[in-house]
Structure 1
């Protein structure tokens, strides 16, 4: 009985320490908060089912993150049409307004391929080294570096365009310069 309680407490502590950051990671990858929350929840359910094995093998976070990202991307691919309808009709009225920087970043991330977006999130938002990103994505180090390079180019162009448009809009409305 003590083993079950200890495993449960260990899992609860792991969940508490990692869930929010994992949701943020998956959200940054997919652009859909609800899908990110669902994928992370399902990944933690699967982790609990394998908890003894995952903890014996070391840190369970990379496994949970990989499962959550794969679930989210699979769901994203299946529900692409539904997401288009959501964005066409706009956000729900009770959702708090996002900062212009966050909106610009999420729009720029959507311009990337799913593979590029995943490596950008893992490397730049989670500060994982290229080698670990390669292990988690199943790609070679060279492929990860190539995806990062191409993604940085696209992001640099998009974020610069958004920044110029935003500054032009502000100066045209007489805002503080």
Structure 2
């Protein structure tokens, strides 16, 4: 109980505990047997936003302290990004993408992964030119140059995140 911050609640009955305290008790009960791997299935889903963020920090700290691998199942992309060292995106029981949360977010391998891991606009295009590690993609909005390699004429889908757009006057 001390590990999960509930040493003072030892004598309390379950109905006397808040939702967050009940989650901590469940975690303590699971950790007491010292498992190698612990499956957490939507552990923060029933908590309000403030408590959810607090519990994210606590879960990460507890995991580091005890050294147990946590497999954290969630449909909340922000939670996955905040908690994961390694992220796996699944769709209908199939792995769509996996890797560091930063890589899965920034360079998703599939359209499903791109749309699941945050807001994005998918823009269809065709590779027009590829040289020196850069490609030019022809889109309905005009040509877009980016790092990468792909054969000329290949159809591609660009996932554009809102935070990557810059508004201003056109250059040139």
* Structure-2-length-normalised TM-score: 0.30
* More strand, by proportion: 2
* More helix, by proportion: 1
